[in-house]
Amino acid sequence: MHKVAVIGGDGIGPEIIESGKTVLDAAGEKFGFDIEWTGFDIGADRYLATGELLTEEDLKELEKFQAIYFGAIGDDRVKPGILEKGILLNLRFYFDQYINLRPIRMLAGVDTPLANKRPEDIDFVVVRENTEDFYVGIGSRLKGHEKKVLEVKRDLYSVKFGLDVETDSDELAYQIGVISREGASRVISYAFDMAQSREKKVTSVDKANVLSDIYGLWRDVFLETAAKYPGTTHEFTFVDAITMWFVKNPEWFDVVVTPNMFGDIITDLGAMIQGGLGLAPGGNINPDGTSMFEPIHGSAPKYKGQNVANPLATIWAGSMLLEHLGEKDAADRVLQGIEASIRERVVTKDMGGSASTSGVGDWIARWINNS
Amino acid sequence: MHKVAVIGGDGIGPEIIESGKTVLDAAGEKFGFDIEWTGFDIGADRYLATGELLTEEDLKELEKFQAIYFGAIGDDRVKPGILEKGILLNLRFYFDQYINLRPIRMLAGVDTPLANKRPEDIDFVVVRENTEDFYVGIGSRLKGHEKKVLEVKRDLYSVKFGLDVETDSDELAYQIGVISREGASRVISYAFDMAQSREKKVTSVDKANVLSDIYGLWRDVFLETAAKYPGTTHEFTFVDAITMWFVKNPEWFDVVVTPNMFGDIITDLGAMIQGGLGLAPGGNINPDGTSMFEPIHGSAPKYKGQNVANPLATIWAGSMLLEHLGEKDAADRVLQGIEASIRERVVTKDMGGSASTSGVGDWIARWINNS
Ligand SMILES: CC(C)[C@H](C(=O)O)[C@@H](O)C(=O)O
Ligand SMILES: CC(C)[C@H](C(=O)O)[C@@H](O)C(=O)O
């Protein structure tokens, strides 16, 4: 019996999560385990009604679970940033989910916008750091002069900035990013470990030629870590350059490890080359704590309640969730179910099919049943 | 008579610039003007010999020119960042070249890695802010406790950060980005002005949902500026999302305006979709001062001196330079020459041809002569 927390969230979130649960339940039945789902009412509706994003109580409750199955957040009635920071990033940080694992893999039968690329050309993993960098969210807007204290608290460390800022600009904004040796080290080590069971190649992403302080430290830690894995190839790329190679030569990559913000950018690009956001899952992982699995796309408010959203990214995230729970065989079967649905063209409109959100989930659940 | 400063720089820089000069001279002959070229010895060799990157004297001399024709800098013997910051970024900042103009346009006969996209689908302009954001290059690495003063000086304004930082991390690095109302305003206005002679659509790039301070200000200024152009369509995209649309729907874009760092990333991606870095030019523009034109690719040290590098990006940058000098007809003719060389397959190896760097330049110069 596995206990999993569920946050459907906003927009299409609840629908795609329902579809995912149906598939995971079927996998449980097939492989002899039960999943007990516990839903949490978290998202825009609650925020608009009560002003609450994530309460202490929510966090204390969620902490009891090994995994969270997360739909999507984001709503047109709420200013950009409120829900993202107050819910999604807050969860990633609170549970110290320092690895954001995003497979970039083109499944058979999927269309890519790239010319002449086949599934075997697009199969790598991005390991995105998930707690630091410019995602710490500290900064300010000022006119004239301002004194301010900004603080970042993490499980590993904390840092306090006493700031005394003066400008003759009409209005000025600043933003501070932070990278720590510990923070870089653990995610880079994870990437090298992961490469051991793959093709033993790790590519680092940075912009150390311009943002030399934070990415200089990142580079140093990357080199020190690489030295501990003598049989593994390692290389650096600048973030601008890697966007080119994703499009031109995706077959070069095996494991890509990246600071948080660049990871955000390149995994959306990665999602597109593997066939679109409808197919891109992610895991926010703390190997010793509560991890969270989600499609990397957003809540697409305009499709809410229409039963038309593509649930495959969510179902794939469910497969990652099962693997995380130790149910490797079930996880593999779910992915095979996704491949079967694509092969048989039981897919939603965005993929050229006519199936509904629930229809895809039901079909894959049955396929697992009969498999 | 136009006076133009020339910085060949490192690696393939001097060769591609020679090729560009040949073409621009031919255009001058055809359209009845002379260009007086004044070369500057700036780059890795000089740095390694004398320790000098850009001297006060260099800057005072360069200031006398309306335009600089720039090859590339970067050398394996020098740590990443030294030449980039000490030369390229220093020039951009010193001359307050606040607009980095990068056309993303697929010429007829060029291959794109995208499936099903034709030249008419890929034709937009990126207006990249070029003096602010994380490119101000301030930050630090520390253990324990540190007091520091960091300063940014620009023509428009200056800002001074008094910092008192304390951490229990093993080692921590931080990086500060800055956006000012004036800085955002002038580049966003430039983009809207440019859109008036195009399709009247401006797309803004940011990540205001996470880096809310700097990109929140950027958004506000974008909205305020948009309000002054009621007949022009405006829209926001998040930087992660726009990388997807570049690949999937490049035909959506007309003028894209972006903060500096995201501009760096998306224009490399843009270069790739338009046919590769060998074809992507850029202008660093100060409408009232010294502007600088360059290919957006780097110095490719391993091809140095082999006469094999693709000069088309540099020649195209030369066309932008001519337009900047008011020689619109000559500029157009140079671009037609580039298109002719592609049509006739007089191109370098990277584009599937067998011509040399100088061979391409000579051919286009002759074509202009005979045109
Ligand atoms: C919604 C947003 C805060 C988030 C991020 O930037 O990490 C999303 O883009 C993602 O990639 O998961
Ligand atoms: C060389 C580097 C500093 C530069 C930049 O980041 O601006 C380059 O990538 C560019 O885009 O012109």
Tell me which of A244, A273, A302 is where a domain ends: A273
**Alpha-carbon span B33 to B168, nearest angstrom:** 65
> pLDDT tens digit string along B10-20?
999 999 999 99
Residue linked to tokens 């065989």:
A329
Burial B68-95 (b: 16+ CB within 10 A, else e): bbbbbbbbeebebbbbbbbbbbbbbbbb
Measured by CA distance, the residue closest to atom 7 of ligand 1 is A264
> If DSSP codes are grouped into helix, strand and coil, which group holds residue A235?
strand
Interface probe for B, chosen from A172, A180, A244 (most Cβ of B below 10 Å), is: A172
H helix intervals, B134-259: 181-196, 212-226, 239-248
Tell me, yes or no, whether A237 and A306 share the same domain.
no
Does residue A247 sit in the same domain as residue A290? no
Residue A332, classed as helix, strand or coil, is helix
Q: Are residues A243 and A199 in the same domain?
A: yes
Ligand 1 atom, smallest distance to A85 CA:
3
Please report whether residue B154 resides in a domain: no
B239/B210 Cα distance (integer angstroms): 11
Q: Is the CB of A210 under 6 A from ligand 2?
A: yes
Rg (CA), chain A: 21
Give alpha helix (H) positions in B197-252. Answer: 212-226, 239-248
Whether A88 is in the pocket of ligand 1, judged by its Cβ within 6 Å, is: yes
Phi-psi region of B352 (alpha: psi -120 to 50; beta: other; left: phi over 0): left
Residue B189 near residue B196 (C-beta atoms within 8 A): no
CB contact under 8 A, A175 and B214: yes
Q: Of chain A residues 298-357, which have a CB less than 8 A from chain B?
A: none
DSSP string, B18-87: HHHHHHHHHHHHHHT--EEEEE---SHHHHHHHS-SS-HHHHHHHTT-SEEEEEE---TTS-TTHHIIII
If you take atom 1 of ligand 1, which residue's CA is the nearest one?
A84
CB of A137 sitting under 6 A from ligand 1: no
How far apart CA B290 and CA A88 sit, in angstroms, is 46
CA B328 to centroid of ligand 1, rounded, Å: 44
pLDDT, average across residues B162-178 = 98
**Residue whose CA is at the smallest distance from ligand 1 atom 12:** A296
What pLDDT sits at residue B113?
96
Q: State the pLDDT confidence band at A300, using cuts at 50, 70 and 90.
A: very high
Name the residue among B89, B113, B157 with its Cβ closest to that of A115: B113
In a domain, A118, yes or no: no
pLDDT single digits (tens) A37-75: 999 999 999 999 999 999 999 999 999 999 999 999 999
Q: Is B241 in the pocket of ligand 1 (CB under 6 A)?
A: no
What proportion of chain B, given as a percentage, has pLDDT over 90?
99
- Strand order across the B133-142 sheet: A133-142, A172-180, B172-180, B133-142
User: Among A240, A242, A262, which is best to mutate for testing ligand 2, by the most ligand atoms less than 8 A from CB?
Assistant: A240
Share of chain A above pLDDT 90, in %: 99
Question: For residues B26 and B322, what is the distance between their CA atoms, to the nearest angstrom?
Answer: 12
Examine the fold and report which residue of A273, A295, A319 is the final residue of a domain before the chain moves on: A273
What CATH number is associated with residue B68? 3.40.718.10
Residue B2's nearest CA partner among B290, B343, B225, B200 is B290
- A73 closest CA partner among A37, A104, A45: A45
Largest CA distance in chain B: 71
**CB contact, 8 Å: B160 with chain A?**
yes
Q: Is the same domain home to A188 and A154? A: no
**Cα A292 to Cα B221: distance, rounded to the nearest angstrom:** 36
Instruction: Determine the pLDDT at residue A371.
Output: 95
- pLDDT score, position B309: 98
Cβ contact, residue pair A265, B243, below 8 Å? yes
Pocket test for ligand 1, best of A75, A88, A127 (most atoms within 8 A of CB): A88
Task: Report the C-alpha gap between A274 and B28 in whole angstroms.
Answer: 48
| Protein residue closest via CA to atom 7 of ligand 2 | B264
Last residue of a domain, one of A251, A273, A295: A273
Give the pLDDT score at B221.
Answer: 98
Q: Is residue A61 part of a domain?
A: yes
Q: How far apart are CA B59 and CA B54, in angstroms?
A: 7
Residue A30: what are its φ and ψ, rounded to 5°? -65, -40
Interface residue B178 vs chain A (CB under 8 A): yes
Angle, alpha carbons B272-B276-B280 (nearest 5°): 95
Any domain includes B157: no
Whether the CB of A240 sits within 6 Å of ligand 2: yes
Residue A290's SS3 state is: coil
Burial annotation A169-208 (CB, 10 A radius, 16+ → b, else e): bebbbbbbbbbbbbbbbbbbebbbebbeeeeebbbbbbbb
The pLDDT confidence band at residue B133, using thresholds 50, 70 and 90, is very high
Contact A243 B261 (CB under 8 A): no
Residue A151: which pLDDT band, with cuts at 50, 70 and 90?
A: very high
How far apart CA A202 and CA A257 sit, in angstroms, is 7
Considering CB atoms only, which of B160, B176, B244 is closest to A268?
A: B244
Residue A72: name the closest of A157, A144, A11 by CA. A11
The pLDDT score that the predictor gives to residue A110 is 95
Atom of ligand 2 nearest to the CA of B298: 1
The answer as to whether A123 is a domain residue is no
CB atoms within 10 A of CB B164: 14
Which residues of chain B are within 8 Å of residue A134 when distances are taken between CB atoms?
177, 210-211
| Residue indicated by tokens 């969230």 | A9
CA-closest residue to ligand 2 atom 12? B296
User: Does residue B251 lie in a domain region?
Assistant: no
Q: How far apart (Å, rounded) are the C-alpha atoms in residues B18 and B357?
A: 9
- Bridge-based pairing of strands A201-206 and A233-238 is parallel
Number of CB pairs, chain A paired with chain B, less than 8 A apart? 270
Question: Is A261 touching B (CB cutoff 8 A)?
Answer: yes
A71 with A8, same domain: the answer is yes
What does the pLDDT read at residue A218? 98
B351-356: average pLDDT: 97
Strand (E) or helix (H) holding A92: helix A90-94
- CB atoms inside a 10 Å sphere around CB A61: 13
- Residues 189-228, chain A: which have Cβ within 8 Å of B? 207-218
* Cα distances (angstroms) measured from residue B358 to each of A310, B3, B315: 53, 23, 11
- DSSP character string of A189-212: HHHHHHHHTTTSEEEEEE-TTTSH
> Does residue B86 sit at the A interface (CB-CB below 8 Å)?
no
DSSP sequence for B273-285: HTT-GGG-EEEEE
A240 touches chain B (CB under 8 A): yes
Nearest to A159 among B141, B172, B176 (CB): B172
What integer pLDDT is reported at residue A28 of this predicted model?
98
Instruction: Name the closest residue on chain B to residue A84, using Cα atoms.
Output: B209
Distance between CA atoms of residues B200 and B247, nearest Å: 22
pLDDT tens for A236-263 read 999 999 999 999 999 999 999 999 999 9
Tell me, yes or no, whether B28 lies in a domain.
yes
Domain encompassing residue A150: 133-176
Q: How confident is the model at residue A283 (pLDDT cuts 50, 70, 90)?
A: very high
Q: Do B180 and A160 touch (CB under 8 A)?
A: no
Same domain, A248 and A334: no
Ligand 2 centre from A204 Cα, in Å? 18
A56 close to B (CB below 8 A) = no
Instruction: Indicate the residue of A81, A158, A171 with minimum beta-carbon distance to B168.
Output: A158
Please give the model's pTM, rounded to 2 decimal places. Answer: 0.97
**Nearest-Cα residue of chain B relative to residue A297:** B241
Structural domain count of chain A = 3
Q: Do A172 and B160 touch (CB under 8 A)?
A: no
Reported confidence tier of residue B70, pLDDT bands at 50, 70, 90: very high
Tell me, yes or no, whether B204 lies in a domain: no
What token pair was written down for B172?
């921590």
